[in-house]
Amino acid sequence: MKTRELFLDDQYMKECDSKVTMVEFTDMTVDQSVFFPTRAGEPNDKGTVTINGKDYVIVDVWEDGENIHLISLDTYPQDIAGQTVHQKIDWDVRYNHMRYRSALFLISGIAYKFYNARCRMNQTYEDNAWIDVYVDEMNEEKLEKIKTEMKKIIESGIDINASYISRDEFTKNSQLMNLSKDKMPEGDNIRIINISGLPMQPDNGVHVKNTREIGDFEITTTMAKGKMERRLTVKLK
């Protein structure tokens, strides 16, 4: 049975109970998870799983296509399949990742809206994140435009909404198809992130509810052979 992704049902959920479906040394799968796994450039959650009154520190979370695996620093009890355990994420770590994820989606939406530029690779760390913007030629004017529009959207306090559409609806939407030209999202129901004023974008990551939560930011890039790199680095304050 596929692990239910509670972190997508409610991105602000901090803890939950779940039943163990498999345990092997430091690896455990559960029927539902509040822990977000490493996915599409967004890091996994950290936190604890409480079993019989003892806390096990979660150091890694990954998915295999069906199950979400909670990797503990210490070996789990090996006889707990079917038992109820309690999950609790480190909220400061999660919320930081959410703010960065939403910031990257503002950049990619702005780049597509104004320059018809797609964004491919991205990666979030604890203190910064980067995204590759495939604009024809990055220059100071385009970079300042992205910064200015991003600041406006954050200060406007626009809600960030998630919804699902069918695969058929997705393939009939030319804008979504163009944004996903390099990698079509998997599944029959595709999750869409909608920020008013920007193009819709597919994503299975976790985001803040409102752009104002992103807060102040800096965007930098580097120079190579006299030209600006397409990789933009974001640092939140």
pLDDT for residue 182: 60
Instruction: Return the closest-CA partner of residue 236 out of 111, 101, 45.
Output: 101
Q: Where are the beta strands (DSSP E) in the chain?
A: 4-5, 15-24, 27-30, 32-33, 47-51, 54-63, 68-72, 84-89, 118-124, 129-134, 160-166, 189-195, 201-202, 217-220, 223-224, 227-228, 231-236
pLDDT number for residue 9: 97
CATH of the domain at 111: 3.30.980.10
Domain boundary among 25, 58, 89: 89
pLDDT given at position 16: 99
Do 111 and 192 fall into the same domain?
A: yes
Number of domains in the chain: 2
The answer to whether residues 170 and 190 belong to one domain is yes
Examine the fold and report which residue of 89, 124, 158 is the final residue of a domain before the chain moves on.
Answer: 89
Residues 85 and 134 in one domain: no
Predicted local distance difference test score (pLDDT) of residue 225: 67
Burial label, 224 (beta-carbon count in 10 A; 0-12, 13-18, 19+): exposed
**pLDDT score recorded for residue 179:** 86
Residues of the chain with pLDDT under 50: none
Same domain? 129 vs 211: yes
196 and 229 assigned to the same domain:
yes
Residue where a domain terminates, one of 31, 65, 89: 89
Quick one: 100 and 212 in the same domain? Answer: yes
Name the pTM for this structure: 0.96
Residues 85 and 106 in one domain: no
pLDDT digits 0-9 by tens, 92-120: 999 999 999 999 999 999 999 999 999 98
Q: Judge if 136 and 219 occupy the same domain.
A: yes
Residues 106 and 202 in one domain: yes
Residues 66 and 99 in one domain: no
Structure tokens at 109: 């939406």
CA distance 20 to 194: 34
For residues 52 and 114, membership in a common domain is answered with: no
Give CA–CA dist 25/27, Å, rounded. Answer: 6
Task: Residue 59: give its domain's CATH number.
Answer: 2.40.30.130
List, in order, residues 6 or more apart from 100 with CB less than 8 Å away: 124, 128, 129, 234, 236
Neighbours of 116 (CB within 10 A): 11
Query: From CA 154, how far away is CA 133, in angstroms rounded?
Result: 20
Over the stretch 8-46, which tens digit does the pLDDT of each residue have?
Answer: 999 999 999 999 999 999 999 999 999 999 999 999 999
Residue-range definition of the domain harbouring residue 31:
4-89
Q: Is residue 144 located within the same domain as residue 231? A: yes
